[in-house]
């Protein structure tokens, strides 16, 4: 029986790489699938990984209907055994429900890949609905790391190098422009996300190239001398 599987992780955890590998594995066994993506860092109509891998994809828009997409391809003689859905956090709740219907009524496997929470630690609507509806949710096993060496669990957005917690939920790209500032993204552990301490801000307060995960404000208070 077909299943809806959601592979979730932070940035830098290899989601797009796994999406391309999944497509390769299934196509090598003679199965035919369709790759979808939305707002990939490399542009429209492509799935790209930070390792340099790329593959053509159908771009998902606000008006994309996955049920219609699969029915249309099959009506014109196409075979659709599975769907690869990258950047699924950007899909609407309705589109996720369409994916579930494709699985249940057309017996098409759906492999969705995405980020669970945004830079404010809030669930993306698409990710929330996937967690609610998926037959299986898999947390990616390749951990992204915070600058301190801990497992990164949160995505942070920076503007001109400073971490921000307000703004539009979706701003795509590693160096996109937002107003007059340059937007960047970084993965952090919960401790340093809560403290808004990125790698650059940590270097600014510590001469060490590898700052320790301590409360630097407390450590900077001079201690009285004994005697």
Predicted confidence (pLDDT) per residue in 90-116, tens digit: 999 999 999 999 999 999 999 999 998
Q: Are residues 80 and 106 in the same domain?
A: yes
Return the SS3 of 147.
coil
Question: 56, 87, 132, 138: which one is catalytic?
Answer: 87
Residues 90, 60: contact at Cβ < 8 Å?
yes
Residues 151 and 130 in one domain: no
Gyration radius of the chain over CA positions: 21
Q: Are 59 and 11 in contact (CB under 8 A)?
A: no
Specify whether 93 is catalytic.
no
Q: Which helix (H) or strand (E) holds 58?
A: strand 58-59
Range of the domain at 178: 143-206
Q: Please tell me whether residues 132 and 182 are part of one structural domain.
A: no
Mean pLDDT confidence for 25-54: 87
- If asked whether residues 202 and 97 sit together in one domain, one would say no
Measured torsion, CA atoms of residues 207, 209, 210, 216, in degrees rounded to the nearest 10? 20
Residues 219, 47: Cα–Cα separation, whole Å: 45
Last residue of a domain, one of 124, 139, 154: 139
Please provide the distance, in angstroms rounded to a whole number, between the alpha carbons at the two ends of the chain: 77
Total structural domains in the chain?
A: 2
Rounded Cα distance between 123 and 115, Å, is: 9
Q: How confident is the model at residue 220 (pLDDT cuts 50, 70, 90)?
A: very low
CA separation, residue 56 to residues 44, 82, 84, 223 (Å): 9, 16, 12, 60
Residue 149 has pLDDT above 50, yes or no: yes
Do 31 and 71 reside in the same domain of the chain?
A: yes
pLDDT of residue 49: 79
Q: How far apart are CA 186 and CA 159, in angstroms?
A: 11
Please report, for the domain that includes residue 178, its CATH number: 3.30.60.20
Determine the 3-state secondary structure of 174 from DSSP.
Answer: coil
Is residue 72's pLDDT more than 50?
yes
Q: Give domain status of residue 221, yes or no.
A: no
Backbone φ, ψ for residue 93 (5° rounding): -60, -40
Q: What is the pLDDT of residue 137?
A: 95
């Amino acid at each position: 029986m077909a299943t809806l599987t959601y592979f979730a992780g932070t940035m830098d955890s290899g989601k797009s790489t796994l999406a391309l590998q999944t497509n390769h594995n299934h196509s090598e066994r003679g199965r035919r699938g369709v790759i979808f993506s939305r707002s990939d860092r490399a542009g429209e109509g492509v799935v790209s990984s930070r390792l340099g891998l790329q593959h053509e994809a159908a771009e998902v828009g606000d008006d994309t209907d996955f049920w219609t997409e699969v029915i249309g391809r099959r009506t014109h003689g196409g075979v659709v055994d599975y769907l690869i859905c990258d950047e699924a956090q950007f899909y609407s709740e309705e589109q996720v429900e369409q994916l579930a219907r494709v699985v249940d009524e057309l017996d098409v496997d759906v492999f969705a890949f995405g980020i669970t929470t945004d830079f404010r630690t809030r669930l993306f609507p698409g990710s929330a609905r996937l967690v609610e509806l998926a037959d299986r949710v898999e947390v990616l096993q390749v951990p992204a790391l915070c600058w301190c060496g801990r497992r990164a669990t949160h995505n942070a957005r920076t503007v001109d190098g400073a971490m921000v917690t307000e703004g539009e939920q979706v701003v795509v790209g590693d160096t996109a422009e937002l107003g007059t500032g340059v937007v960047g993204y970084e993965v952090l552990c919960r401790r340093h996300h809560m403290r808004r301490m990125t790698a650059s801000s940590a270097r600014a307060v510590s001469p060490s190239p590898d700052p320790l995960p301590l409360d630097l404000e407390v450590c900077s208070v001079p201690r009285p001398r004994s005697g």
